[in-house]
């Protein structure tokens, strides 16, 4: 006869694991087998066989035993050891908590290294017309990352166009929805490219969270190109009936530049083909290790 060890029967392994789980769970709760029998409706003899690894219990009866032990039935069958009751309770509370609370918990439990918190997530900031959406979409495709525009996230959540959001809720309401949308995408995506509205930097709390959770790249161009690109998108409002629009744009840019300069990197798209600007962005991402978990 061969001395070669026989492979473990998966079915037998499952029965033995189940025996250990039921026995340990019953003892941890201080339940005599007789009491567990009364609570579950499963005979003491059947329970004894189950705990000895000699019983082939039905799914229905196993469900009764799990309920009596205050466990989910899958916890008795899982390959990994079941969580203790405190951990199970915390996991249940977390799964039913709001996105904001979940994010706070993640922040408390996550590594405190800023690089680890931001790893894999990139956000493009800057005024409208700089090229954030164009470059974000192309970079996402090149790097196989999801690309999300925060304003579109707000539209999807509110089920109305952005113009209606602004008209109905005003600037203050929009900023609240913007902050909530940032929380959602931060909680949903570990790796992504995000484009945000130019004014997000003027909201200190929201901008601080953005800088904490994303590697940021300021996409910018000249005032003339900002205006030209916005008009090319079909929006004539910046110039129509407002001869001082260019002066206002320059003043806005002057005000926000110190805020934009807090970004980790910058890309100047002025008088540069889209492909060149895309290569600039991809180069910055690679050089600064924005997609690595251990970047500096």
pLDDT digits (tens, 9 = 90+) for 199-225: 999 999 999 999 999 999 999 999 889
Number of CB atoms found within 10 A of residue 263's CB: 22
3-state secondary structure 230-296: HHHCCCCCCCCCCCCHHHHHHHHHHHHHHHHCCCCEEEECCCCCHHHHHHHHHHHHHHCCCCCCCCC
Burial of 63: CB neighbours in 10 Å, binned 0-12, 13-18, 19+: middle
Q: What is the mean pLDDT of residues 221-238?
A: 76
Domains of the chain: 10-82 (1.10.260.40), 114-287 (3.40.50.300)
Question: How many whole angstroms separate alpha carbon 132 and alpha carbon 137?
Answer: 8
* Confidence band, pLDDT 50/70/90 cuts, at residue 125: very high
For residue 100, how far is the Cα from the chain centroid?
11
User: How, if at all, do strands 192-195 and 147-149 pair?
Assistant: parallel
Burial of 187: CB neighbours in 10 Å, binned 0-12, 13-18, 19+: middle
Q: Which of 24-33, 110-119, 169-178, 262-271 has the lowest mean pLDDT?
A: 110-119
* Confidence band, pLDDT 50/70/90 cuts, at residue 181: very high
Question: How many whole angstroms separate alpha carbon 14 and alpha carbon 30?
Answer: 24
Q: What is the mean pLDDT of residues 110-121?
A: 70
Does the structure show a pLDDT above 70 at 296?
no
pTM over 0.85: no
CA 102 vs CA 180, 192, 204: distances in Å: 13, 19, 21
Tens of pLDDT along 2-50? 455 555 566 677 778 788 888 888 887 778 888 888 888 888 888 888 8
pLDDT (0 to 100) of residue 97: 76
Q: Which residues contact 250 (CB under 8 A, 6 or more apart)?
A: 223
pLDDT (0 to 100) of residue 199: 94
């Amino acid at each position: 006869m061969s001395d070669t060890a026989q492979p473990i029967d998966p079915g037998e392994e499952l029965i033995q694991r189940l025996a250990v789980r039921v026995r340990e769970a019953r003892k941890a709760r201080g339940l005599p087998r007789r009491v567990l029998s009364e609570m579950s409706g499963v005979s003491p003899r059947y329970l004894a066989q189950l705990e000895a690894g000699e019983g082939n219990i039905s799914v229905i009866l196993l469900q009764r035993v799990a309920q009596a032990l205050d466990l989910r039935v899958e916890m008795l069958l899982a390959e990994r050891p079941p969580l203790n009751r405190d951990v199970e309770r915390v996991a249940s509370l977390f799964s039913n908590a709001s996105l904001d609370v979940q994010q706070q918990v993640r922040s408390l439990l996550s590594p405190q290294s800023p690089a680890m918190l931001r790893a894999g997530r990139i956000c493009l900031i800057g005024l409208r017309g700089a090229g954030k959406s164009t470059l974000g979409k192309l970079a996402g495709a090149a790097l196989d990352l999801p690309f999300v525009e925060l304003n579109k996230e707000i539209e999807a959540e509110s089920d109305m166009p952005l113009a209606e959001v602004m008209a109905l809720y005003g600037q203050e309401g929009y900023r609240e929805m913007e902050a909530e949308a940032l929380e959602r995408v931060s909680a949903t995506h570990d790796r992504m490219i995000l484009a945000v509205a130019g004014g997000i930097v003027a909201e200190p709390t929201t901008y601080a969270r953005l800088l904490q959770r994303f590697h940021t790249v300021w996409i910018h161009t000249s005032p003339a190109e900002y205006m030209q690109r916005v008009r090319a998108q079909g929006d004539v409002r910046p110039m129509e009936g407002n001869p001082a629009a260019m002066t206002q744009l320059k003043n806005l840019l002057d005000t926000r530049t110190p805020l934009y300069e807090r970004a980790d990197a910058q890309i100047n798209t002025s008088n540069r083909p889209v492909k060149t600007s895309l290569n600039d962005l991809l180069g910055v991402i690679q050089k600064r290790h924005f997609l690595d978990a251990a970047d500096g």
